[in-house]
Amino acid sequence: MKHALPSLDALKVFEAAARLLSFSKAAEELCLSKGAVSYQVRKLEQDLDCALFRRSIRQVYLTDAGQQLYLQTRRLFDELGDTLARIKPASAAHDVTVGATTYVALRWLSPRIARFSERHPDISVTLQHSVNSREFRMHDVDFAIRWDCIGEGPRRGLLREMPMPLFPVCSPRLLERHGLPGARTRLDPRELVQGPLGSTPLLCEDRALDLWQTWYGEQSESLANPRRVIDDANVRTQAAIDGQGWTLADAMMEHELRTGALVAPFDRRLEGYGYLIESAPGRFLGRDAVTLRDWLVAEG
């Protein structure tokens, strides 16, 4: 239903002028010119067809009608302010909640949050690590950073795609145990089937999603290597460093590759996977969440 009310701007100007009993002080408080305040008050009086102020050379006074309107607008503005304070997200602490696995948080997100906090010390970031659990709900976070297939067309809530092809890595010691130089840089993928590496374990997250065979790509033969399921990506990485087997890595393992803790002897890459920055479709993001989201998207 349409309400026959004056403009909110006019009521705000009137309330300030009535409370301060001065058009000049009201103009200063509202960052307006004195002429703009006079115009809004005069327009409101015309809309109501009654005088709200008695004007003298140095002072303004409220009429009876002005006094009634002032008491009502004062009460309504106070109630509106209380309501807005109650419904405003619990951002007194300026919290932004980001969903990310510990693997992503440790290797990609944490250094970026450190740089962000230097620029925005008033915004607190909370990390929610249960992104891969069945109980995780996108609505529980402002946005999430998740690993998935990419390039599948538009997605609701998608903010950015970060492609990161997968490739096998292992400890140099694993190669040395099988008579191969640990520093050797290139191997043929068929050596995982036909060579001495045919019995080395392939570490994976989920036996039902066999990305190893997808990476190998040969339809005529299967990778018969034993699969060892390790759910946690950080534990899986450490297992590979300790020589327990191979794991599929991405660009987030740059540190281990640079230091030589892991080596990547195959040229073949599995494309089509990476990370998505996304939020629940239709979710309202507060100002602080938008600031962090846009900063991360720009950082890449």
Asked if 112 and 158 count as a contact pair (C-beta separation under 8 A), the reply is: no
Q: Is the pLDDT of residue 229 over 90?
A: yes
The 3-state DSSP class for residue 273 equals: strand
Q: Which domain holds residue 290?
A: 95-164+275-299
User: pLDDT tens-digit profile of 49-100?
Assistant: 999 999 887 788 899 999 999 999 988 888 887 787 677 655 444 589 999 9
Are 80 and 141 within one domain?
A: no
Work out the end-to-end distance of the chain between its first and last CA atoms, rounded to an integer number of angstroms: 47
> pTM above 0.75?
no
Asked if 48 and 6 count as a contact pair (C-beta separation under 8 A), the reply is: yes
Are 207 and 294 within one domain?
A: no
User: pLDDT tens-digit profile of 180-195?
Assistant: 886 666 888 888 887 7
Are 220 and 261 within one domain?
A: yes
Instruction: Give the number of domains in the chain.
Output: 3
User: In this structure, what CATH number is given to the domain that contains residue 127?
Assistant: 3.40.190.10
> Nearest-CA neighbor of 221 among 186, 191, 248?
191
The count of C-alpha atoms lying within 13 angstroms of the C-alpha of 84, restricted to the half-sphere facing its C-beta, is 6
For the record, the structure tokens of 148 come out as: 């998935």
For the record, the structure tokens of 182 come out as: 């640990």
